[in-house]
């Protein structure tokens, strides 16, 4: 486990063993004496290990010995997240069994709100890119079957798919903050036992595919809660599950979520690179809706980078793919690409390159198309921004009033960001109706998070 990522496996075992950091350090010091080691570890050393540092020499083996004795079962270096460097290939070459244990340990940590899982920021650079590279490139998983006491059935797969749909709808209606604890609770109570169960290769691929879609929703909820490091981990988990399932389209969808997060974090070059990877590696497997969204997000990234020609080319491709969308022929996950979504994405890209008439045309078109409340709030916010940029402050205030009314009751940090940005622009415009719109926005912002 790299130093940049907290050791959630070790944290989970320490918690299960019921030993304090100071207590673990003392046990390790004593266990080293028969081996001729004079160790003087304290709780601060354990804290460093939990942050991702791997101790030298025989100490990892001593940690396994101490925890194994307390838990009355063998504990391996893999179990504590300290497999020796070079002892195995990085994921996806590493065992799925180890991946499942690391994955479910994160779910437990999130449900119990442990700081080591919630606090880290999103990783950048090579650490952020590697999961996408590993998804795109060999080796593939040749056999994902597993022995287990509980056999996974198609009824279990149907349950996971239904849960994904249920929690996605809950997210759209109530926001990620309210939904996150529920979806994570389901992952721990229902999904984790299935991943540890028994299944054939064919059933295992169905299981990983269904679990991947559900884990992606957990990542969306974490992103919507401003827990970006946690969201990124969920997206990386979902991408590994997609790899194991053999479903390239699911992997492309997960990368689209990473593209969206990269846009929010202002890593525009990474947004472009990730979108290109998804479109390249999943050619023939990506649906028109997903391709349209990937091109539209690329257009926004190019606009932010000041590349107007790149933005317009991606807009052209996004609109072309959007014209090929066939209702009822899309996978469940791409249901978020509702009519009008590409238009609002294009409006934002055109706004970024200074094409106000074009941005206004697309934003207004998006607002005219029916959408769920969350989507409508974002569309109205975009139209408000465009109207303000065009000097139509009174019209923008009326649009903002509808936006604020729609946003009532939603617990979402992303929506709050949009509301605050609109409020600031409206107040700065000093138009006659800015006060009323600002008051309604303030009311929507008073929803407790």
Helix H, strand E, coil C: the string for 92-125 is: CCCCHHHHHHHHHHHHHHHHCCCHHHHCCCCCCC
* Residues in CB range of 24: below 8 A, 6 or more apart: 14, 17, 46, 63, 66, 67
pLDDT tens string, the chain, 449 residues long: the values are 444 467 888 888 888 788 999 999 999 999 999 989 999 999 999 999 998 899 988 999 999 999 989 988 788 888 888 876 544 333 333 478 888 888 998 898 899 887 666 767 888 888 899 999 999 999 999 999 999 888 999 999 999 999 999 999 999 999 999 999 999 999 999 999 999 999 999 999 999 999 999 999 999 999 999 999 999 999 999 999 999 999 999 999 999 999 999 999 999 999 999 999 999 998 889 999 999 999 999 999 999 999 999 999 999 999 999 999 998 899 999 999 999 999 999 999 999 999 999 999 999 999 999 998 899 999 999 999 999 999 999 999 999 999 999 888 888 999 999 999 999 999 999 888 888 889 999 998 886 65
DSSP 446: T
Q: Is the pTM of this model over 0.95?
A: no
Structural domains counted in the chain: 3
Please, is 419 exposed, middle or buried when counting C-beta atoms within 10 Å of its C-beta (0-12, 13-18, 19+)? buried
* Residues in CB range of 188: below 8 A, 6 or more apart: 104, 107, 108, 111
Q: Among 22, 47, 79, identify where a domain stops.
A: 79
pLDDT at 243: 97
Closest CA to 379 of 343, 336, 417: 343
Same domain, 128 and 205: yes
Query: Domain range for residue 33?
Result: 1-79
Q: Among 212, 246, 280, identify where a domain stops.
A: 246
Same domain, 189 and 229: yes
Cα(56)–Cα(47) distance, rounded to whole angstroms? 15
Same domain, 58 and 110: no
Is 270 among the domain residues?
Answer: no
Same domain, 73 and 110: no
Q: Among 48, 79, 110, identify where a domain stops.
A: 79
Same domain, 120 and 161: yes
Is 432 among the domain residues?
Answer: yes
Same domain, 191 and 71: no
């Amino acid at each position: 486990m790299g130093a940049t990522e907290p050791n959630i496996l070790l944290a989970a075992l320490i918690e299960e063993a019921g030993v304090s950091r100071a207590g673990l350090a003392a046990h390790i010091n004593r266990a080293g004496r028969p081996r001729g080691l004079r160790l003087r570890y304290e709780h601060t050393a354990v804290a460093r290990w939990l942050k991702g540092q791997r101790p030298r020499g025989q100490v990892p083996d001593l940690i396994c010995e101490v925890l194994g004795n307390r838990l009355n079962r063998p504990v391996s270096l893999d179990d504590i997240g300290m497999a020796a460097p070079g002892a195995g290939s990085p994921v996806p070459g590493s065992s799925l069994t180890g991946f499942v244990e690391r994955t479910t340990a994160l779910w437990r940590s999130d449900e119990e709100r442990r700081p080591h899982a919630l606090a880290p920021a999103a990783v950048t650079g090579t650490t952020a890119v590697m999961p996408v590279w590993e998804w795109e490139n060999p080796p593939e998983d040749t056999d994902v079957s597993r022995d287990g006491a509980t056999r996974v059935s198609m009824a279990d797969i149907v349950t996971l798919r239904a849960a994904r749909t249920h929690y996605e709808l809950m997210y759209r209606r109530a926001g990620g903050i309210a939904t996150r604890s529920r979806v994570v609770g389901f992952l721990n109570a229902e999904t984790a036992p299935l991943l540890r169960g028994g299944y054939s290769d064919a059933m295992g691929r169905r299981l990983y595919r269904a679990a991947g879609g559900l884990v992606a929703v957990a990542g969306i909820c974490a992103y919507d809660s401003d827990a970006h490091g946690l969201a990124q981990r969920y997206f990386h988990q979902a991408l590994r599950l997609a790899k194991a399932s053999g479903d390239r389209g699911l992997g492309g969808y997960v990368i689209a979520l990473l593209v969206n997060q990269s846009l929010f974090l202002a890593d525009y070059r990474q947004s472009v690179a990730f979108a290109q990877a998804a479109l390249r590696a999943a050619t023939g497997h990506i649906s028109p809706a997903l391709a349209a969204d990937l091109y539209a997000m690329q257009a926004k990234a190019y606009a932010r980078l000041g590349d107007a020609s790149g933005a317009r080319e991606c807009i052209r491709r996004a609109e072309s793919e959007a014209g090929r969308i066939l209702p009822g022929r899309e996978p469940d996950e791409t249901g978020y690409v509702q009519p009008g979504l590409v238009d609002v994405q294009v409006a934002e890209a055109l706004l970024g390159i200074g094409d106000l008439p074009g941005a206004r045309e697309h934003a207004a078109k998006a607002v005219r198309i029916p959408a769920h409340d969350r989507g409508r709030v974002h569309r109205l916010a975009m139209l408000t921004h465009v109207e303000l940029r065009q000097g139509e402050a009174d019209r923008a205030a009326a649009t903002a009033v509808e936006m604020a009314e729609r946003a009532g009751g939603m617990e979402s940090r992303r929506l709050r960001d949009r509301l605050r940005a609109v409020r600031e622009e409206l107040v700065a415009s000093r138009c006659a109706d800015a006060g009323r719109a600002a008051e309604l926005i303030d009311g929507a912002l008073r929803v407790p998070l």
